[in-house]
Amino acid sequence: MNEIVLLGLNHTTAPVALRECLAFSNQEAVESLAQLGKDPAVDELLIFSTCNRVEILMTSNNISAAVDAAKKHISTFKRIHPEEYEKALYTLQGEDAVKHVFRVASSLDSMIIGEPQILGQIKEAYRVATENKTSGVILNRLLHRTFFVAKKVRTETGIGGSAVSISYAAVELGKKIFGSLEEKKVLLIGAGEMAELAVEHIIQNRASDIYVANRTFRRAVALADRFQGKAVHFEEIQDVLKSVDIIISSTGSPSFIISHEMVKSCMKMRKNRPIFFIDIAVPRDIDPAVNRISNSYVYDIDDLKSVIDENIEERKKEAIKGERIVDEAVIKFMEWYQNLEVIPTIVSIKNKLDTIVKSELEKTRSSLKHLPEPDLKTVTRMTDSIIKKFMHDPTLFLKGNGCHGDKAFYLDAARKLFKLDD
Amino acid sequence: MESVILIVILFYAAGTAFYTAYFAKQKEIWHQTGYYLLLAGFLIHFLNIGIQHMQTGIFPAGNLNENLSIASGAVAGVYLLLRYKFNIKILGFFAAPLSAIVLMISFFLPSGPSPEPSPVFKNIWLIIHVIVIFIGEASFALACGVGILYLAQEHAIKTKNHGFFYKRLPSLELIDSTGYACIVVGFTLLTIGLIIGSVYAKFVWGRFWSWDPKEVWSLISWLLYAALLHQRLTMGWRGRKAAIMSIVGFAALMFTFFGVNFFLTGHHGEFTK
């Protein structure tokens, strides 16, 4: 019988340097599927690699041989000595492997719990495996269950609920202030990855005009180009404050760029329309006193971080519900998997025939009331021997070598043919 | 009629329970149920007042009990409309208990000296005067509730304390525009109500304005709301200031409704004892 085995390492077991070293690009994954898939110990195979993990999922008759083959493949393919990565490696079998796959896809095992990309990445890895014909009955079933479980965890728990990145947290806050970010005007002061990401997220929420200010005007023009916005001089900020709604600031300035006075004086012109400052810079660009002006809100990097921390706590609580959903799914999957043995399948088919024959006999008997008891026994003997004869060939086939190498496939087909699993 | 009012109280109270559950647990079904309970209560309440009016030919606004009952129905009705227009669900957590409590007070308060069913309550203009003013006041009551919600949410955002209220309350923009709508509706109706009342007074007492305490306090409330609207339109008084003003305005209105009756006397007094 083929067993499920998983070999992997992730962000908790391996440092980033090692993960970088072992990560498989798409092309490498395809090559590896072909090479490792040829190994006689490896039956079904799926390789899943992201920046936070590498997982090799296999089914095999001979687990230790398959694991050795996989390790050997990693060493030769990646030109790395086994000693360097072996400590970071985990090997899971059967139920543990199934649970691990479910948890990873549901993002319960992610660095940021609930992050949504992982499911898409697993789907892609599965697609590659099916294209290269390295997945079979067991992995097909396992992966389909995985997608189902992951979706269920996402919809039934709040695991992906509130923002856990600075830029998303800023967007969420903006929505609590403005209702929607549609038609809102944005000013970006300075530059920086986090600030630019926040601007992008705000644009995705259909903000209208984007202004970019930078000490180096050339840089402002370049960024404005990217966001299809308008570059403004640093000296124009005061003027722009009269019309923009959201200001994202991220400069290297040692002193405040936006003072209490500047905001106070523009509020009148704004007719007190709310204004929201997101200060990503350290040291800060916006005087914290600006938060005291009515209808003006200032969040600095620490404020946003504490929002995120709270949300992460929230997600961890929700993850407990997710674990329960995963546990349930593991039990169901293992039921199916264990029935995929030869004896239970043969017994199930025989039982099904028995019940059909019995109920038909009952029906016939009620219309044959004149039939004496001994004759009835003869008829029963006859049906029994029909069942036996009928079962003979399938039993030989499933037990014997008729389906050798691909037993799981025929067992699954048999179970489907006789509808044994519902 | 008494048992009908009891049923209405039950509906409003049940609505309150469901809105409270919605506030705590944020499950859509709680809010839906609360909404329909409140709607059912309001319809029965409305029909009851209508039938009472048809049977006696006298509009039931003769004493404090009857007035409170109308006020309760008006609050429920205005909330249902607001919910329809703005989709501000959480306000039900304020409106439903207000309707329930006011109606309970009306029901359990010993009836004051019921004045001789005065023929003035058959006059259509007086009835419109009363109804319009009550709906206006209910709008102001909800504006006050919205103002409280605004202050709570604004406080949560300003102090960066994203706890219980932050998650449950809608965006500042939605709360603020709902409050503004309440004030506009309330002010329009109060203005119409006051004009009809004074025109009616001209026919009954021969003068538009008689410096009756209730008239004076109504005028004070009216001026407060007028100032709020004026400041909003010209100076952009919105958000926190508008929220505080709608709470202050409603306090003045409450004094007009109760205080004047208990502490001062005038020709409105007899209807509200």
Tell me the per-residue pLDDT of B30-87, one tens digit each, with 9 for 90 and over.
888 889 998 988 998 888 888 887 887 777 776 777 778 888 888 888 888 888 887 7
Q: Are residues B5 and B137 in the same domain?
A: no
Indicate the residue of A177, A306, A310 with minimum beta-carbon distance to B172: A177
- B46, B79, B112 - which closes a domain: B112
- Residues of A serving a catalytic function are 51
User: Of A304, A273, A277, A306, which is closest to residue A291 (Cα–Cα)?
Assistant: A277
Residue A231: enclosing H or E segment and its boundaries?
strand A230-232
Q: Does B236 touch chain A (CB under 8 A)?
A: yes
Q: Are residues B164 and B35 in the same domain?
A: no
Measured between alpha carbons, how far is B41 from B44 in angstroms, rounded to an integer?
5
Q: Is residue B117 part of a domain?
A: no
pLDDT band of A405, cuts 50, 70, 90:
low
Q: Is A232 helix (H, G, I), strand (E, B) or coil?
A: strand
pLDDT at A226 over 80: yes
Check if the beta carbon of residue A37 is closer than 8 Å to that of residue A90: no
Q: Is residue B19 part of a domain?
A: yes
Residues of chain A found within 8 Å of residue B155, distances taken between Cβ atoms: none
ipTM of predicted assembly, 2 dp:
0.81
Indicate the residue of B158, B173, B236 with minimum beta-carbon distance to A297: B158
- B56, B89, B112 - which closes a domain: B112
Measured between alpha carbons, how far is B48 from B40 in angstroms, rounded to an integer?
12
**A119 to chain B, closest Cα gap in Å:** 27
Q: Are residues B239 and B136 in the same domain?
A: yes
Output the pLDDT for position A401. Answer: 62
Q: Provide the angle, in degrees to the nearest 10, between the axes of the packed helices A137-156 and A117-131.
A: 160
pLDDT tens for each residue of B114-146:
555 566 666 778 888 888 888 888 889 889 989
**B227 to chain A, closest Cα gap in Å:** 16
Domain count, chain B: 2
Indicate the residue of B157, B172, B238 with minimum beta-carbon distance to A272: B238
Give the tokens for residue A61: 């008759």
Output the pLDDT for position B261. Answer: 67
pLDDT band of B266, cuts 50, 70, 90:
low
Domain enclosing residue B176, as ranges: 123-273
Which residue of chain A is at minimal alpha-carbon distance from B175?
Answer: A179
Q: Is residue B240 part of a domain?
A: yes
Q: Does B172 touch chain A (CB under 8 A)?
A: yes
Check if the beta carbon of residue A45 is closer than 8 Å to that of residue A135: yes
Q: Are residues B252 and B131 in the same domain?
A: yes
Type of residue numbered B67: N
**Pairwise CB contact (< 8 Å): B235 & A295:** no
Which residue of chain B is at minimal alpha-carbon distance from A307?
Answer: B162
Percent of chain B with pLDDT over 70: 89
Q: Are residues B140 and B250 in the same domain?
A: yes
Antiparallel, parallel or unpaired: β A44-49 and A186-190: unpaired
Q: Does A288 touch chain B (CB under 8 A)?
A: no
**B247 to chain A, closest Cα gap in Å:** 18
Q: Is residue B118 part of a domain?
A: no
Distance separating the N- and C-terminal Cα atoms of chain A: 22
Residues of chain A found within 8 Å of residue B162, distances taken between Cβ atoms: 307, 310
pLDDT tens for each residue of A156-195:
888 887 778 888 888 889 999 998 888 889 899 988 888 8
Place of tokens 């600006």: A290
**Pairwise CB contact (< 8 Å): A274 & B237:** no
> Strand pairing partners for A246?
A186, A276
The mean pLDDT value of chain B amounts to: 82
The mean pLDDT value of chain A amounts to: 88
Residues B212-240, mean pLDDT to the nearest whole number: 85
Check if the beta carbon of residue B138 is closer than 8 Å to that of residue B78: yes
Output the pLDDT for position A260. Answer: 92
Q: Provide the angle, in degrees to the nearest 10, between the axes of the packed helices B92-108 and B64-86.
A: 170
> Strand pairing partners for B182?
none
Count of all residues that appear for chain B in the document? 273
Residues of chain B found within 8 Å of residue A268, distances taken between Cβ atoms: 235-236
Which CATH number fits the domain A3-156, given the four candidates 3.10.50.30, 1.50.10.10, 3.40.50.2000, 3.30.460.30? 3.30.460.30
Residues A387-404, mean pLDDT to the nearest whole number: 80
Q: Are residues B26 and B92 in the same domain?
A: yes
Check if the beta carbon of residue A42 is closer than 8 Å to that of residue A66: yes
**Pairwise CB contact (< 8 Å): B236 & A274:** no
Q: Is residue B238 part of a domain?
A: yes
- B53, B78, B112 - which closes a domain: B112
Residues B211-240, mean pLDDT to the nearest whole number: 85
Output the pLDDT for position A55. Answer: 93
Place of tokens 């006859």: A382
Q: Are residues B180 and B237 in the same domain?
A: yes
Q: Is A230 helix (H, G, I), strand (E, B) or coil?
A: strand
Query: Longest C-alpha distance within chain B, in Å?
Result: 59
**Pairwise CB contact (< 8 Å): A295 & B239:** yes
Check if the beta carbon of residue B248 is closer than 8 Å to that of residue B224: yes
Could you tell me the CA-to-CA distances from A165 to A61, A133, A171, A201, B212 in Å, in that order? Answer: 44, 38, 10, 11, 62
Place of tokens 């037993």: A407
**A296 to chain B, closest Cα gap in Å:** 9
Q: Is A165 helix (H, G, I), strand (E, B) or coil?
A: coil
Residues of chain A found within 8 Å of residue B236, distances taken between Cβ atoms: 268, 270-273
pLDDT at A137 over 50: yes
Chosen from B162, B164, B166, B245 to mutate, greatest number of chain A CBs within 10 A: B162
CATH number of the domain that B10 lies in?
Answer: 1.20.120
Residue A55: enclosing H or E segment and its boundaries?
strand A53-60
Domain A166-304: CATH superfamily is: NAD(P)-binding Rossmann-like Domain (3.40.50.720)
Instruction: Write the DSSP assignment of A178-215 as a string of letters.
Output: HS--TT--EEEEE--HHHHHHHHHHHHTT---EEEE-S
Measured between alpha carbons, how far is A368 from A325 in angstroms, rounded to an integer?
53
Instruction: Write the DSSP assignment of A273-332 as a string of letters.
Output: --EEEEE--SS-SB-GGGGGSTTEEEEEHHHHHHHHHHHHHHHHHHHHHHHHHHHHHHHH
Output the pLDDT for position B273. Answer: 43
Q: Does A172 touch chain B (CB under 8 A)?
A: no
CB pairs under 8 A between A and B: 53
Q: Does A218 touch chain B (CB under 8 A)?
A: no
Measured between alpha carbons, how far is A388 from A406 in angstroms, rounded to an integer?
25
Antiparallel, parallel or unpaired: β A186-190 and A246-250: parallel
Chosen from B90, B160, B169, B235 to mutate, greatest number of chain A CBs within 10 A: B160
pLDDT tens for each residue of B172-199:
998 998 889 889 999 999 999 889 888 8
Q: Are residues B127 and B105 in the same domain?
A: no
Q: Are residues B140 and B105 in the same domain?
A: no
> Strand pairing partners for A47?
A56
Binding-face residues of A in 299-318 toward B, CB within 8 A: 299, 303, 306-307, 310
Antiparallel, parallel or unpaired: β A3-10 and A53-60: antiparallel
Indicate the residue of B157, B240, B241 with minimum beta-carbon distance to A177: B157
**Pairwise CB contact (< 8 Å): A274 & B172:** yes
Output the pLDDT for position A99. Answer: 96
Sign of CA dihedral A240, A241, A243, A248: positive
Q: Are residues B134 and B107 in the same domain?
A: no
Could you tell me the CA-to-CA distances from A276 to A230, A245, A291, B179 in Å, in that order? Answer: 19, 6, 9, 21
